[in-house]
Structure 1
Amino acid sequence: MFKNKRIIQTLAILLLVAVGFSGCKSKFEKLRASNDTGRKYQEAIRLYNNGKYTKALVLFDDLVKLYRGRPEAEDLNYYFAFTNYKLGDYTTARYNFKSFTDTYPGSPKAEECRYMGAYCYYLESPVYSLDQDNTLKAIEALQLFINIYPESERAEEASGLITTLRDKLERKSYENAKLYLDIGDYLAAVIAFENSLRDYPDTKYAELLEYYKIEAQYKYALNSSDRRKEERFRTAIEFSEDFVSDYPDSKYIKDANEFKSDSEKRIVAVKETLSALAVLQKEAEERIKKREEEQTLKETPVSPQG
């Protein structure tokens, strides 16, 4: 009995507490629930300026819908985009920045918003080892900004960001090509090194790419059949000669010359091997032919005389 009474008392207390909390909404919650858009607008700006972006975002989210099509909408959408940016939601921010430039192309804030949209792509560009789709989109967006605002103070900064992004793409290209060499897929490595040099002719990895291309071609030839080795070692020799000509002061000169020298020796060796094999094959063919002739003579019937 006493136990039941205690349970009832506890439930009553919890109910009173719940009612008390429900009746004690914060000023922010009361403001958000109100229809006073003017006060909401002022409070949202105040919260933004004080760095309270989470609360500011809640109010801006309500206000941009309420003010759609009105003069105040321009500033609201501007703040809304920047609030998302300040909170680190770069995907939503760049969408809002783009929406602003599309909706208000003549606005004094359009240049800044177009730049920020591109910059958000830049911030979303991942480390070089991951998919670089956002890196490519960032380069495209930043280049578009430069094309539209070539005289802008931000154009030089945008150009610097593009250089950083291209460096990332160059490294990914280099690392991917080197991976083929490391795992022993030598033909794929040669192709990947050449593609990387073609795609990024001014890359800082050019010397390494050219050197590893020699190594990959040499190992490709080394693992080929004897009949294909001469041709493939000659290609390795060509790569070595080009490297020595292009990078006479490279620390890899000695290694490049060794690849060339060894390739030349292996060409001589494979020629001797193929020549010996040709002799053996010819001798074998002659023996087979002789046996066939002898067998034919044995099987030929002798004509009766008289």
Structure 2
Amino acid sequence: MFKIKHLLLLSFTIIALSIAGCKSQFEKLRLSNDVAKKYQEALRLYGKKNYSKALILFEDLSQKYRGREQAEELNYYYALTLFKLRDYTSARFQFKTFADTYPTSKYAEECRYMGAYCYYLDSPKASLDQENTIKAIDALQLFINFYPKSDRAVEAAKYITILRAKLEDKAYGNAKMYYDLGGYDITNYKSAVIALQNALIDFPDIKYADEMELLIVKSQFNYAKNSLEERQEDRYTEAITFADDFIDSYPDSKYLAEAKSLKKDSETGIENAKRFLALQTAKIEKYKAQMAKDAKKDSSTLNKTPIK
């Protein structure tokens, strides 16, 4: 038993010393001025998928190899290493720098594509800010413009379609948010109408088109319904116009019946508003008449009172 434990302890010691030796050799190389050996080791580590250590050497060498013949390949692998480590922000910068610095390089097309692809990978979900999504579309489109016949152009076009769909989701979500908040402040309904209209202008082929058009009708209807009676007729009339546009544009939509119902309710709303205003006017006129009658009566009484 003692012998077995002794052998195990010896084995662990040898392994630990080997690891320590490897680490010290790497550190020794990292601190050395033997750039050629350091470069070969960086490539070896990259090939072994030890990207973290490879990056340390590539970062050091990128300065020392500036202006040298090997700088082109070194910077190429430097950018790839950053990509493998999923540092897409740094990687896209290095890929773009490479493509701009070495436009005739055999790696130029790949690097320009990879820089755009990094933007694609950094594009957040639709509910978040879409600045990177817009930049990704621009970068991918630029790649297509540079290399329209490249096989990668097909992939770039596919990614642009995915990103545009994300922007559509964002635009739809933002516009619908105003509608959902309408119950707290009716001006949000008006904001919803504007936001939905703008989204449809920006994305005329959006997959939510008929639903968004219906939301415009609903938003305007609710805006009118919750307004003062004096303003309801004009606002209901606008809702009817939106409903007519929907009915003409989407005769086969699953929302057609709801659009027609909203139009009918808007027409009823106008009638009710007119009736209410007519009653109010009648009450005011009756009140004025009564006031005039009382004033005349008071005047007559005053004239008949004898002066003492």
Tell me the SS of whatever aligns to 1:241: helix
Match of 1:207 in 2: 210
Match of 2:262 in 1: 259
Match of 1:229 in 2: 232
How many Å separate the matches in 2 of 1:182 and 1:81? 45
**Of 71, 76, 83, which aligns to 1:73?**
71
1:143 aligns with 2:105: no
**Given the superposition, is the C-alpha separation of residues 281 and 40 from structure 1 closer, same or farther in structure 2, using an over 3 Å criterion?**
same
Question: Cα deviation per residue 1:25-82 (whole Å; 9 max; x = unaligned)?
Answer: 5321222122221111111111111211111111111111111111111111111011
Match of 1:44 in 2: 42
Q: How does 1:176-187 map to 2 (within 5 A)?
A: 176-184=174-182, 185-187=188-190
Match of 1:16 in 2: none
How many Å separate the matches in 2 of 1:284 and 1:153? 83
Match of 1:272 in 2: 275
Match of 1:5 in 2: none
1:63 aligns with 2:61: yes
Moved more, 212-221 or 292-301: 292-301
CA RMSD of aligned residues (A): 2.1
**Given the superposition, is the C-alpha separation of residues 104 and 299 from structure 1 closer, same or farther in structure 2, using an over 3 Å criterion?**
farther
How many Å separate the matches in 2 of 1:107 and 1:73? 12
Match of 2:253 in 1: 250
Q: What amino acid does structure 2 have at the position aligned with 1:126?
A: P
Question: Cα deviation per residue 1:128-176 (whole Å; 9 max; x = unaligned)?
Answer: 0001111111111111111222222211211111111110010011011
**Given the superposition, is the C-alpha separation of residues 301 and 76 from structure 1 closer, same or farther in structure 2, using an over 3 Å criterion?**
farther
Give the TM-score, by structure 2 length.
0.86
How many Å separate the matches in 1 of 2:22 and 2:206? 64
Moved more, 103-112 or 207-216: 103-112
Match of 2:287 in 1: 284
Q: What amino acid does structure 1 have at the position aligned with 2:233?
A: E
How many Å separate the matches in 2 of 1:295 and 1:104? 101
How many Å separate the matches in 1 of 2:163 and 2:22? 52
Q: What amino acid does structure 2 have at the position aligned with 1:169?
A: L
**Of 154, 157, 165, which aligns to 2:155?**
157
Match of 1:6 in 2: none
How many Å separate the matches in 2 of 1:65 and 1:263? 71
Q: CA deviation at 1:294?
A: 4.8
Q: What amino acid does structure 2 have at the position aligned with 1:150?
A: P
How many Å separate the matches in 2 of 1:40 and 1:223? 74
Match of 1:17 in 2: none
Match of 2:192 in 1: 189
How many Å separate the matches in 2 of 1:192 and 1:244? 21
Match of 1:13 in 2: none
How many Å separate the matches in 2 of 1:125 and 1:164? 11
How many Å separate the matches in 2 of 1:299 and 1:123? 91
Q: What amino acid does structure 1 have at the position aligned with 2:107?
A: K
How many Å separate the matches in 2 of 1:23 and 1:181? 66
1:117 aligns with 2:115: yes
Q: What amino acid does structure 2 have at the position aligned with 1:100?
A: F
Q: What amino acid does structure 1 have at the position aligned with 2:142?
A: L
Give the TM-score, by structure 1 length.
0.87
* Number of residue pairs matched by the alignment: 284
**Given the superposition, is the C-alpha separation of residues 218 and 126 from structure 1 closer, same or farther in structure 2, using an over 3 Å criterion?**
same
Match of 1:4 in 2: none
Q: What amino acid does structure 2 have at the position aligned with 1:224?
A: S
Moved more, 94-103 or 120-129: 94-103
How many Å separate the matches in 2 of 1:269 and 1:283? 21
What fraction of aligned residue pairs are identical, expressed as a percent?
Answer: 53
Tell me the SS of whatever aligns to 1:26: helix
Query: Where do 5+ consecutive residues of structure 1 fail to align?
Result: 1-20
**Given the superposition, is the C-alpha separation of residues 290 and 105 from structure 1 closer, same or farther in structure 2, using an over 3 Å criterion?**
same
Q: What amino acid does structure 2 have at the position aligned with 1:119?
A: Y
How many Å separate the matches in 2 of 1:66 and 1:297? 112
Tell me the SS of whatever aligns to 1:232: helix
Moved more, 39-48 or 79-88: 39-48
Q: CA deviation at 1:291?
A: 3.7
Q: CA deviation at 1:84?
A: 0.2
Q: What amino acid does structure 2 have at the position aligned with 1:239?
A: F
How many Å separate the matches in 2 of 1:236 and 1:54? 61
How many Å separate the matches in 2 of 1:237 and 1:23? 81
Q: CA deviation at 1:105?
A: 1.9
